[in-house]
Each structure stands twice: as structure tokens, then as C-alpha cells.
Structure 1
Amino acid sequence: MGWGWNVNITVTLGAHNINKNEPTQQVFHVGHWVIHPKYSGYTSENDIMLLKLKPRAKLTKSVSYIPFARYKERVEPGTMCQVAGWGWTSRSRDVTSVLMEVDLKVQHENICEDSFKKYYLQQSMICAGDENGKKAAFRGDSGGPLVCNGKAHGIVSYGPQNSIFPKVFTRVSYFERWIRAELRKFALQDRPDSPSSV
């Protein structure tokens, strides 16, 4: 997937206020991307995509990396995690130009199973949110990381139509093998003798 589409994707790293041209920002064109081959827009199954930046990002005080959860590494219910983004800040579609962050608690699986029935898959999804219904990842935050104990455990995926609790996150650890296999392919493309590098 990702071949032959006439799409120009850019990624901005090191941003805080997206309406300003901050000196910390690094802007990249995406050289290649891979959508999970079994992604379903209908059920949000396998909601994960990899982007390859060109050239590589420069690590600075404002641009760093975060390790992701390994295969079979799970985060326990009750764990407090953080999610950040520039998505809506209210159900009335208020927007923000500065990066916002909220703390969300990993919930027991049955909370999301009750809300989403057969669409919630324990193996490949994480259930999280603020049970008081006051804060959440929301529209525009999709694709952002759910960071727990210093690792990216989830990716903002979907939530209920008419409320902000609970939210479903793609479980990164479930996809570790696929991610590593795709990264190996990316590395092969960078070799001087590869057809795509000519």
C-alpha cells in the first residue's frame, strides 16, 4: 500500500504552536508510507500506519524519540498515561493552535467491550479514558501516541459518537513484529544498490 497515490504528505516535528513558524520546527516530506494491509476503515481494526521521513530527523531538545512497547508488553488497568495533540478541545468543535496534553487512565477491557461490542478487540486495542468524562483525546488527535511509563503503548484510534468516554487506542505492542518487518524493508530501500535509491 502507499504506492502510486498522488499525495504530498508532510510531517512537522518540534512544534508547539502550529500557527507559528517556530525555530524548533523541522518539516519533512514523507518518502514512503505503509498502511497496515488489514486496516479496516469500517471497524478501525489494524489502525496503524508507518511514515518514513526524508531526510532523517535531527535530534534536538525539542525533537526526540520515544521507545514503543514490545510484543506481549501490556499496560495494566489503572495505569495513568498521557496523550497529546491539536484536536478539538470541546464537543462544540473549539480548536487550539498549541499542543494540549491530558492524563488518561487505562480502563478494564469490559468498559470498551460494553461500549463498542464486537468492534473492540482486546488483543490489538487498549481501552482508556477519564471516567469523569471531563478530558479525552478527541477529533484531530487521531494518530497521536498514548504514552504510558515512558513508552508509546497506544495510538489514538476511535471513540463513541456522542460522548468522550471511553476511547480506543491501537495497541502498539501487538504490531511490533509487523513494524520491525516494515522497518527492515525501509532500511533495504536506503541501500545504495536498491532500485528505489537510484
Structure 2
Amino acid sequence: MLPCFSDKYEMTVVLGAHDITKKENSQQRIEVAEYIRHPNYNGGHGYDIMLLKLKNKATLNKYVKTIDLPKKDKKYPAHIICTVAGWGKTGQNKGSSNVLKEATEKLQFSFECKHIWQEYFHSEHMICTKFDKKTEGVCQGDSGGPLICKEKPLGLTAFTDKCNCSDPKYPHVFTKISFFLPWIKEEMQ
């Protein structure tokens, strides 16, 4: 989430990175040409998705690959093991990571997330996960990162408990990509 976002904000996307503090031969740095924020986004938790149009095409290779989006909006069963990744905090009261970290989390029933997150959780366009306190999963700084389940990107990291991202009582919440497929397709034309 970019609360102070402005259309004049300059951004560069870094692809193929492992250690973000180094210039690795695998990295591609491409400037963003256009930001397309979802029209229903109002600075809160809902509709927290943005498309980035790059100034140049990425070069696909062993470090940079595409991943297919889900085909349609559907419900996902709980307990599927998924992968999350990012350079965010490695736990509450810890700093961000210089190297890309990966963890596993399990999809959780939407009604459980609604019960805990109440008005912040909307099952039509959000999904959530359970996680193990030992492996922790996503935290602050991982927003926008992927939730990959069965080799498909199902979500984008949206929010955690801001006081303790590694408290298993508070499921991690993700923007559900499949809900936004019609909008994504319309904007890409």
C-alpha cells in the first residue's frame, strides 16, 4: 500500500534480484511508465491492487520468467500449502532482509478470517492464510509480494497485524488476484 502515492512518483522495477543491496548480473532494472490504480481503492485495505506498465519489455531468461494468472475467479479450499516471498521484516521487531526470503503458509477458511479481521476482510476479493510461528511468513515490507499455490499466483500480500506480524492468531491477508481478472484484462487492452 502506498498511502502517499502520487502519479508523479518515479519507480523502477527490479527483476531477477536475490540480494537487493548488490547489483547482480541476474538483475534487470526497468522504469515504470504508468501506474494504474484500481478505481475503487480509497487508501484502506480493500481493492489494494495496482498495475505497473513498464517502459521496456523484460528479457526472459533463467532468472526472469512469467507466471500464468488464474483462469477465473473461484473459491479455493482451505489447507492448501502455498509459498510467499519477499524482502520484508523477518519477524516482529526484526529488520528487513537483504536477500529474498521464502516461507510456506496454508490457505484458511474465509469465515475464520472474517471472524478475526471483521470489517477489514472481504472474502469476495481477499484470501487469507494460517502460518507457523516458527516460519512466520510475510511481514511489513512484503506488501505486493506473491502468494503462490499449486504453481499459480493466487494473491498479493495485503496486510498482517501491524503490531505483530508473526502472531498466528491473526491470519495474513492477500488481495485475491482472480477477483480482479476482468479489470486486469480491461486495463491491459
Structure 1 length-normalised TM = 0.86
1:34 corresponds to: 36
User: For residues 7 and 37 of structure 2, what CA distance do their matches in structure 1 show?
Assistant: 12
**1:170 is matched with which residue: 162, 165, 175?**
175
User: For residues 58 and 52 of structure 2, what CA distance do their matches in structure 1 show?
Assistant: 12
Equivalences for residues 30-179 of structure 1 within 5 A: 30-42=32-44, 44-130=45-131, 132-134=132-134, 135-164=136-165, 165-179=170-184
SS of the residue 2:61 aligns to = coil
Structure 2 counterpart of 1:9, which letter?
A: M
Query: Which 10-residue stretch deviates more, 69-78 or 51-60?
Result: 69-78
| Alpha-carbon contact 1:87-1:140 (below 8 Å) kept | yes
SS of the residue 2:181 aligns to = helix
User: For residues 151 and 158 of structure 1, what CA distance do their matches in structure 2 show?
Assistant: 20
Q: Spell out, residue by residue over 1:19-58, the C-alpha distance to the aligned partner (whole angstroms, 9 max, x if none).
A: 110000000000111000101323x100110001121000
Please state how far the C-alpha of 1:115 moved relative to its aligned partner: 1.5
Where structure 1 has 5 or more consecutive residues not aligned to the other structure, the ranges are 185-198
User: For residues 71 and 155 of structure 1, what CA distance do their matches in structure 2 show?
Assistant: 16
User: For residues 121 and 177 of structure 1, what CA distance do their matches in structure 2 show?
Assistant: 18
Sequence identity percentage: 37
Higher Rg: 1
| Alpha-carbon contact 1:71-1:175 (below 8 Å) kept | no
Which aligned runs of 4 or more in structure 1 are off by greater than 4 angstroms? none
CA RMSD of aligned residues (A): 1.3
* Count, aligned residues: 179
Structure 1 counterpart of 2:95, which letter?
A: D
Structure 2 length-normalised TM = 0.90
Q: Spell out, residue by residue over 1:112-148, the C-alpha distance to the aligned partner (whole angstroms, 9 max, x if none).
A: 1121112211110001131x33312100000011001
1:20 corresponds to: 22
Structure 1 counterpart of 2:60, which letter?
A: L
Please state how far the C-alpha of 1:89 moved relative to its aligned partner: 0.4
Equivalences for residues 184-195 of structure 1 within 5 A: 184=189
User: For residues 93 and 164 of structure 2, what CA distance do their matches in structure 1 show?
Assistant: 12
Please state how far the C-alpha of 1:70 moved relative to its aligned partner: 2.5
Please state how far the C-alpha of 1:7 moved relative to its aligned partner: 1.5
User: For residues 125 and 5 of structure 1, what CA distance do their matches in structure 2 show?
Assistant: 25
Please state how far the C-alpha of 1:111 moved relative to its aligned partner: 2.1
| Alpha-carbon contact 2:102-2:137 (below 8 Å) kept | no
Q: Note closer, same or farther for the CA distance 1:124–1:105 as it changes in structure 2 (3 Å cut).
A: same
Structure 1 counterpart of 2:142, which letter?
A: D
| Alpha-carbon contact 1:74-1:173 (below 8 Å) kept | no
Query: Which 10-residue stretch deviates more, 6-15 or 161-170?
Result: 161-170
